[in-house]
């Protein structure tokens, strides 16, 4: 899948691109069923909120067939190859739960800030893809973006080890307010299967989920192979060290699993 | 202003009615300017967050001309008279700030639960009107509603004195989840000047505002005169004891103030 001129300009201007319904509802539901099975597993890659409910499952593409396929899906990999101009490897892969009532805040941050400081990634030639596995509404803790903030480079940040259960380099209010005065603050809202691609320097956050609706999102962080990380301070299943270029699968690679499951269920 | 059949049916079915842009942007802005002036005042009716920023100004209709007029506006008073079938008095009047970054959560609750328990209001023949003084977006802590939950009567609740700076009778998660399984969870989003009318038993909440955008809303709680409160446990500027029937003003009562200010500014 290739982005058109309008998409390319929007990404360049705003630092993100929202693609509602890029995956079908049944493709998203199949991945959601798999995510729920993963969250039940007792493994080190699954992190939990202080309440015990799952917050994040890391590196599911290495131990789950549906998520392996999602990590090589041409609707995700090819647009990022197009934007970064070379082959990619998977720098990070996580399934964030943001559970009903319990899902905690992610403070304002840039992902590349963490990749540079913690992982020694040379340039912001990496970016994120968010795949909604459940409907994202104004009620259930949507991602918030400051459009145009990706043009500011790496902003000064403090290492927050307290307010969330995942250490993060976060920005101060003055910086966020200043950027929002120019770019505003937007929350892409859409049905399960929708996708947001966003620049590694785009300032973003998400509020707690106080609603009775879960809100699970998969995040792929794809990095240009030549821009691979140089410091190995985090677990290898958090900041990956396998720089093998990703080869895309066919467009129907998830559809095939949906159809297989339907066939099994019908037997 | 009268509600039509479609509006009446929607209110009966869902327990709320969203009227985007009921007031013009300049009517809303004039009220917002006045709210900011009130928040600067050091008076007992202005409550603050733990950070010191204003959270709520009570009873502004008793000490501010623009808010006095809003409290008698025919676009607000007449529809509620129509729904409750008699003249109204003002039970409570507050301007809630939900400030950027600092605006705190309001947990899941029914307002009539508080009016009955704390104020001895005989029946749920009172309702709320929310007037947006700033744009409400998915980003800045919108009101969340559980549609149809107003048909459940007064639900069991616990008195929350801890998680927020305003004591509230709040519902447990099981009850909220059960109601949302039937009615879902909705967040009315719209520009400044928009209005939501909602039943006194409608279950609602609002998340913290972590965004850089303020979100100020005025809440009028209008009660049928014959249904006035019978217990006086709260300050009279929180739960009013003046049961005089409200006489609506003319439809241009706020417009007049906007024009006056423009005329003064032009001099």
Strands A106-109, A126-132: pairing is unpaired
pLDDT band at A161, cuts 50/70/90?
low
What is the residue extent of each domain of chain B?
5-266
Distance set, CA B266 to CA B46, B65, B109, B229, B259 (Å): 32, 21, 46, 46, 10
Nearest chain B Cα to A210, which residue? B207
Nearest CB partner across the interface for A180, out of B146, B189, B213: B213
Dist CA B179 CA A71 (whole Å): 37
Question: Would you say B71 and B220 are in contact if contact means Cβ atoms under 8 Å apart?
Answer: yes
Residue B104 has pLDDT above 90, yes or no: no
DSSP state at residue B125: -
Dihedral (C-alpha) A94, A99, A103, A106: value to the nearest 10 degrees? 30
Nearest CB partner across the interface for B185, out of A142, A189, A211: A211
Both structure tokens of B242: 């003046």
Strands B16-19, B195-199: pairing is antiparallel
Dist CA A209 CA A195 (whole Å): 20
What pLDDT shows up at residue B157?
A: 82
Q: Is A166 left (phi over 0), alpha (psi -120 to 50) or beta?
A: beta
Q: Which residues pair with A158 in a beta bridge?
A: A170
pLDDT band at A103, cuts 50/70/90?
confident
* Burial (CB count within 10 angstroms: exposed 0-12, middle 13-18, buried 19+), residue B6: exposed
Dist CA B244 CA B247 (whole Å): 9
Which residues of chain A neighbour B105 with C-beta distances below 8 Å? 208, 210
Beta strands in A98-239 (DSSP E): 106-109, 126-132, 144-145, 158-160, 168-170, 195-199, 204-206, 217-224
Both structure tokens of B188: 């009315």
pLDDT band at B164, cuts 50/70/90?
low
| Residue B213 in contact with partner chain A when CB distance is under 8 A | yes
| Inter-chain touch A141–B207, beta carbons under 8 Å | yes
Question: Would you say A234 and A48 are in contact if contact means Cβ atoms under 8 Å apart?
Answer: no
Cα angle B206-B210-B213, degrees, rounded to a multiple of 5: 95
Task: Name which of A63-77, A100-114, B12-26, B216-230 the model is least confident about.
Answer: A100-114
Dist CA B159 CA B6 (whole Å): 37
Both structure tokens of B85: 């079938």
Question: How many Å lie between the alpha carbon of A85 and the closest alpha carbon of chain B?
Answer: 33
CB pairs under 8 A between A and B: 82
Question: Would you say A128 and A219 are in contact if contact means Cβ atoms under 8 Å apart?
Answer: yes
| Residue A212 in contact with partner chain B when CB distance is under 8 A | yes
Count CB neighbours of A46 within 10 A: 18
* Burial (CB count within 10 angstroms: exposed 0-12, middle 13-18, buried 19+), residue A181: exposed
Average pLDDT, chain A: 93
Dist CA B189 CA B175 (whole Å): 25
Q: Which of A53, A161, A47, A60 is nearest to A103 (CA)?
A: A53
Which residues of chain A neighbour B212 with C-beta distances below 8 Å? 146, 173, 176-177, 179-180, 185
pLDDT in tens, B212-228: 999 999 999 999 999 99
What pLDDT shows up at residue B163?
A: 62
How many helices (H) and strands (E) chain A has is answered by 7, 12
What pLDDT shows up at residue B245?
A: 98
Dist CA A223 CA A245 (whole Å): 10
Residue B51 has pLDDT above 70, yes or no: yes
pLDDT band at B266, cuts 50/70/90?
confident
What interface predicted TM-score (ipTM) does this complex get?
0.85
| Residue B71 in contact with partner chain A when CB distance is under 8 A | no
What pLDDT shows up at residue B165?
A: 58
pTM of the model: 0.89
Dist CA B63 CA B43 (whole Å): 11
Q: Any idea how long chain B is?
A: 267
Both structure tokens of A212: 């009775």
Count CB neighbours of B220 within 10 A: 27
pLDDT in tens, A106-152: 899 999 999 999 999 999 999 999 999 999 999 999 999 999 999 99
Count CB neighbours of B267 within 10 A: 4
- The fold of the B5-266 domain, in CATH, is Jelly Rolls (2.60.120)
């Amino acid at each position: 899948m290739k982005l058109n001129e309008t998409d390319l300009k929007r990404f360049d201007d705003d630092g993100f691109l929202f693609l509602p319904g890029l995956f079908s509802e049944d493709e998203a539901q199949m991945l959601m069923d798999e995510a729920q099975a993963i969250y039940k597993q007792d493994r080190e890659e699954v992190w939990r909120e202080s309440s015990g409910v799952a917050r994040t499952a890391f590196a599911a593409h290495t131990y789950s067939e549906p998520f392996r396929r999602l990590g090589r899906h041409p609707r995700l990999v090819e647009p990022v190859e197009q934007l970064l101009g070379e082959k990619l490897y998977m720098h990070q892969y996580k399934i964030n739960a943001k559970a009903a009532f319990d899902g905690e805040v992610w403070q304002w941050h840039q992902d590349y800030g963490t990749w540079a400081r913690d992982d020694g990634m040379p340039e912001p030639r990496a970016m994120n893809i968010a795949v909604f596995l459940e409907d994202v509404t104004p009620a259930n803790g949507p991602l918030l973006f400051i459009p145009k903030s990706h043009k500011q480079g790496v902003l000064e940040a403090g290492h927050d080890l307290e307010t969330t259960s995942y250490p993060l380099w976060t920005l101060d209010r003055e910086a966020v307010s200043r950027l929002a005065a120019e770019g505003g603050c937007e929350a892409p809202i859409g049905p399960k299967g929708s996708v947001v691609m966003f620049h590694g320097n785009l300032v973003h956050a998400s509020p707690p989920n106080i609603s009775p609706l879960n809100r699970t999102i998969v995040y792929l962080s794809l990095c240009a192979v030549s821009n691979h990380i140089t410091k190995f301070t985090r677990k290898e299943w958090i900041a990956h060290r396998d720089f093998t270029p990703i080869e895309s699968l066919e467009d129907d690679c998830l559809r095939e699993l949906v159809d297989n499951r339907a066939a099994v269920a019908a037997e």
